[in-house]
Amino acid sequence: MDVISVIRTKRDKGRLSPEQIDWVIDAYTHGAVADEQMSALAMAILLNGMDRAEIARWTAAMIASGERMDFSGLTRPTADKHSTGGVGDKITLPLAPLVAACGAAVPQLSGRGLGHTGGTLDKLESVPGWRASLTNEEMLHVLGTTGAVICAAGDGLAPADKKLYALRDVTGTVEAIPLIASSIMSKKIAEGTGSLVLDVKVGSGAFMKTIEDARELASTMVGLGTDHGVRTVALLTDMATPLGRTAGNALEVRESVEVLAGGGPADVVELTLSLAREMLDAAGLTDADPEKALAGGAAMDVWRRMIAAQGGDPDAPLPVAREQHVVTAPATGVLGRLDAYDVGVAAWRLGAGRARKEDPVQAGAGVELHAKPGETVRTGEPLLTLHTDTPEKFAYALEALENAYDIAAPGTPFTPTPVVRERIA
């Protein structure tokens, strides 16, 4: 078998055979297929697609490229969640300890931000001392003693995906639905969780801009999970507006702790509880009450133990950016739109994100939102506050926000978009 014939098959809108898929994934993992050749194949897949059988085989081949974890020794049922990424999406931080407080084990393997979307590991690394990298033994220990762990995936888990993801990011093929679905599901299935809830974002700040694309991606991933024996459901959730009132690393951790303390923005609380109920139901814990666990402080207790178990100090002050710039409302009226993508780009330019995976991030950088769509704003009052350690970046961030919001006349009716738009199972 040779890679040129594989590329030509998909270029010419053909169907890759199971043997072709197995061979090309294995050969690429071991360096026998060059990056430029896999780039050509990824672009052909983006343009011409894959059917369900192709995607299932591609996913299985990526799983087979590495190790599989085993949580059968745990006394609790396992439940995991994956978000396709957004702006202000700090949901994992309160969600994992909340679901653990209700009786499930939550092995949350998370990633870093790239471009305008934030990364869970970057956020948590703003907690002094906290470690993202754990051995499998350390991960199992934290999971067994606290009920939840949030950490980076080890190098042995789906290494083909790790290599291919980095390539997709620099070749304009991130948006290919077969490759997104197989990337996410290969890691989650190899991780060994018994059930999985997918948070598929839709809107300007998401990779899926339309409800149709989000629905296709969610259905594909639910099918992959089901085919591999993992109980999988998906929620399509809104990402036209940033989640909560912060976008940035330490800013979002601070907001997450507010949620765990019984407060926080209403949309963050609503989505956290919606996903918690789905995870608990998928794990068979139908009698658990996540709202009670959140209000009563049980989730906060798990958070503190989980952070400490990974070397962090839950009582330490979080980093604060050295410089701030306030954007004021140019008119009085109703905030009709606050674009998630534009806010995410501004936060990224301020230092909260990275252009390449090797780039450092600023823990305190980001954007604070003083109003959300539907709320009244007044001329000259704060609308956004920009945070950074490098004030020369303010002008670049402000460029991203030039068309980020609309203010309607006072009294203009506003109909909010639901946080949860659809459920797919």
| Residues 107 and 45 reside in one and the same domain | no
> Left if phi > 0, otherwise alpha if psi is -120 to 50, otherwise beta: which for 297?
left
Closest CA to 251 of 104, 66, 386, 57: 386
DSSP 16-71: --HHHHHHHHHHHHTTSS-HHHHHHHHHHHHHH---HHHHHHHHHHHHHTS-----
| Residues 162 and 280 reside in one and the same domain | yes
Q: Specify whether 161 is catalytic.
A: yes
Catalytic residue among 10, 81, 82, 277: 82
287: domain CATH number is 3.40.1030.10
| Residues 150 and 201 reside in one and the same domain | yes
Q: Specify whether 187 is catalytic.
A: yes
Give 60-102 pLDDT, tens digit per residue: 999 999 999 989 889 999 999 999 999 999 999 999 999 999 9
Q: Specify whether 110 is catalytic.
A: no
State whether residue 407 is helix, strand or coil.
strand
Q: How far apart are CA 257 and CA 94, in angstroms?
A: 7
| Residues 115 and 35 reside in one and the same domain | no
| Residues 220 and 99 reside in one and the same domain | yes
The last residue of a domain, from among 283, 309, 335 = 309
Q: How far apart are CA 271 and CA 279, in angstroms?
A: 12
Q: In terms of residue numbers, what domain contains 256?
A: 80-309
Query: What is the structure's pLDDT at 354?
Result: 84
| Residues 271 and 402 reside in one and the same domain | no
Higher confidence at residue 44 or residue 156?
Answer: 44
Query: What is the structure's pLDDT at 118?
Result: 86
355: domain CATH number is 3.90.1170.30
| Residues 258 and 387 reside in one and the same domain | no
Give 262-317 pLDDT, tens digit per residue: 999 999 999 999 999 999 999 999 999 999 999 999 999 999 999 999 999 999 99
Q: Specify whether 72 is catalytic.
A: no
Residue 67 lies in a domain: no
State whether residue 53 is helix, strand or coil.
helix
pTM: 0.93
Catalytic residue among 10, 163, 187, 393: 187
Catalytic residue among 183, 195, 204, 256: 183
Catalytic residue among 112, 123, 168, 305: 168
Structural domain tally of the chain? 3
Query: What is the structure's pLDDT at 269?
Result: 98
Give 190-238 pLDDT, tens digit per residue: 989 999 999 999 999 998 999 999 999 999 999 999 988 999 999 999 9
Q: Specify whether 5 is catalytic.
A: no
| Residues 369 and 304 reside in one and the same domain | no
Query: What is the structure's pLDDT at 147?
Result: 97
10: domain CATH number is 1.20.970.10
Closest CA to 233 of 243, 225, 244, 242: 225
